Amino acid sequence: GDVGYRCGLIHTFVVNTSDATAQFRGSMLQAREASSTFSSNAQLLGEFMTIGNTQQLLCSGNPGSGTHTENSDKTSLTFHWIAPGVPTIGNALNIKIWFTVCRMFSLFHVRLCGLLLTPDPTFCQIPTTTTITT
């Protein structure tokens, strides 16, 4: 289902295994403008933070990707992402979180669609200006 996001605020995503005995080496997340399928042309949105065992990964200078900091076996990774700010023109965009998981050096699961994020209208509206004349 859809998950609401709040413009300009930090959101947390956890990548974990459904089986406590299964482990993975690393993961990469990307926040992209939502479309029905993965497109490398879809705009990267927001900014991943470098905290703990995850870090921001710049793709063409854009901070809309995050990855692991070390490749040891793990069962979960926690990513922190700052949603785009309130737009000055138009509406806030729907965003898909895409992820890749590295199980071992030669086994990757790529372009997995995680969440569809929709803007929370309470926190993502362009402020209205009211003019009071006296």
Residue 91 · residue 32 · CB < 8 Å:
no
**130 pLDDT band (50/70/90 cuts)?**
low
Q: Which pTM was predicted?
A: 0.82
Alpha-carbon gap, residue 63 to 97, rounded angstroms? 14
pLDDT tens digit string along 25-55?
888 999 988 876 676 778 899 999 999 899 9
